[in-house]
Chains A and B, each alone.
Chain A
Amino acid sequence: MTVLSVRNLQVAFGAVAPLSGVSFDVAKGETLGIVGESGSGKSLTAMAVMGLLPLAGGRITAGSITFDGQELTTLTEKAYRRLRGGRIGLITQNPMTSLDPLQCIGPQVDAVAVLHLGMTAREARARTVEILGTLRIPDPATICDRYPHQMSGGMKQRIVIAMALAADPDVLVADEPTTALDVTVQAQIIRLLDDLVKSRDLALILITHDMSVVAQTCDRVVVMYAGRAVEQGPVGDIFDAPQHPYTQALIGCIPRGLDDGARLTGIAGTVPTVLNYPPGCPFHPRCDRAEEVCASIVPELEPNATGAVACHLPGVAP
């Protein structure tokens, strides 16, 4: 059952339009991956869903975001505040700085349940301890009286996840939840999120630039490039038979084991910045398949057998 759906979302900051057409759906118990290079608009999409664009000076110019049948783009700030942390949780990019340095862990997590579930301080604390326990934090009751500086990065990330879960949300948006962590801790956190999706029937939007994380956890994938969704589909199809040359290039960049003599590959050129998006298909200057039409006409996202792709010349790589 689709719980959150984004249709043709466009975002502008003044005259600049960093997001120009993103669409996806996410259902309960499903993990949707949003991948793309830095600057492709992944985090901006998350901000838009959380209704945080006004804070950064941006606004939604077109498209819609519906959550549980409710249109979010026209929601008042006050109503949005009830959703944020309540029914839509966000796990931020940097756990190191996402906690108030002057408050103990306990009260910070408690506040969410007190605010959204109307619990008393005592009930909220019991709930906090329980949630910390399910996140495999050892000795959760003691942890509540610790300050953020006394904890490791992986622990802090779990606390941040606990805060996002405290009000039992339906949708969880995780914006690069593992980028700031050690590789070993990354795997733990990803596994944890995966378990949560299954056990709590959550809809998880996982924003990442790490294709291997996507392959391990996601059910469906949206590939973003220069503020557009260029391809989407089930994770198996995206990895086995990518249609868009950009997706193919991204997958080509994943280091593969210990192949003798194999060199790491990259994508030539750089992501265009918001100020100089090329005309036509935004990927054409870096695309080896590009033809004349690519430089002039923006390809629309066309549905195919299992997903959709925005390319004039789609197809599995030769």
Chain B
Amino acid sequence: MTSMTGTAARMMSGFGNTSLGRAFGSILGKVAGGFLVLLLLTAIFAPWITPFDYAAQNLMNGNQPPGWPHLLGTDQFGRDVLSRVIYGARTSLSVSATAIAISITVGMTLGAAAGYFGGLFERCVMTVVDLTWSFPDILIALIFVAIIGPGLTSTTFAIAIAYLAQFTRLTRAQIVRLKRETFIEATINLGAKPHHILLRHLLPNAIAPVIVVGMLAIGDGIVLEATLGFFGLGAQPPTPSWGAMMSSGTAQLFLSPWVIIFPGVVVAVTVIMVNLFGDELIRALDIRDRIRGA
């Protein structure tokens, strides 16, 4: 028994010593991180916790104000707003996280290659990347969705492309800085091959700021997904998405404001929490200068 608690205590202190653990260390980190964990769990277990079917219509029961049994009211088709907000979390989080994951993978590869090899390749990559960087995110995403058509898949890729420049630039800046470090020169002196230097020494040392910017970008991705959804370019009905819900709520803004208010509040709170937690991560990883430098 004592040994078990001892192990548990060690594991706890082990987690507390990791960067993620330190990000949870402050009150702000606990609140923001706790909220995000809760939101994630809600999204994952949505089928078991939603009180109603998110797509079940009941026109006789439309535009009900918040109360019992529809805690957050119903929309014009009589669908339960709470259930739709919960399922909307699934859409928003998965689209945003997938998009950012794609963006980080491609962006880090491009940025690392550009920073490491330099020359004409770097100039070509960075020119294209800077070109996309010069447009607002939403415009890039809109252009892309306009080309391949609306839907969740195109929304995902549109968001990925919108944030590609950020990760490419960030990674390249890190690699260019690290390349001049003495330990890289020392590694070259030991006869290391380029891929060893890149994969074992440069990328691990460059990854911390990318993690944080990735975290913050997930927040931006949620907003972008909601925006595209609001324009009707994202999730198609009846798939619930926070943006699409707000958009359909605009028609009854004065009749049943809860249809637009609740998804709006959830988007706002989620993005604030993501940003707060991102700030805590920056503090925990101690990389404020490196984020600003990119």
Contacts and interface: CB of A to CB of B under 8 A. Distances in A.
Contacts of B185: 52, 55, 92, 98
B188 A101 contact: no
Contacts of A22: none
Contacts of B201: 100, 103
Contacts of B17: none
Interface size class of A (residues with CB under 8 A): 20 to 34
A115 B188 CA distance: 12
A9 interface: no
Contacts of A99: 183, 186
Contacts of A1: none
A102 B200 CA distance: 10
Main secondary structure of the interface of B (DSSP, over half): helix
B290 interface: no
B186 A84 contact: no
A116 B191 contact: yes
Contact of B192 (A83, A85, A94): A85
A83 B183 contact: no
A92 B189 contact: yes
Interface in B177-229: 181-183, 185-193, 196, 200-201, 204-205
Contacts of B189: 50, 52, 84-85, 89-90, 92
B205 A83 contact: no
Contacts of A85: 189-192
A102 B182 contact: no
A105 to B, nearest CB: 12
Interface in B233-259: none
Contact of A163 (B182, B190, B204): B190
A111 B183 contact: no
Specify which of A100, A102, A103 lies most central, judged by the most chain B CB atoms within 10 Å of its CB. Answer: A100
B206 to A, nearest CB: 10
A112 interface: yes
A86 to B, nearest CB: 5
Interface of B: 181-183, 185-193, 196, 200-201, 204-205
Interface of A: 50, 52, 55, 81-86, 89-90, 92-94, 97-103, 111-112, 115-116, 160, 163-164, 166-167
Given A92-B182, A101-B183, 4 more contacts: A90-B189, A93-B182, A100-B200, A100-B201
Closest CB pairs A-B (n = 4): A85-B190, A85-B191, A97-B182, A84-B191
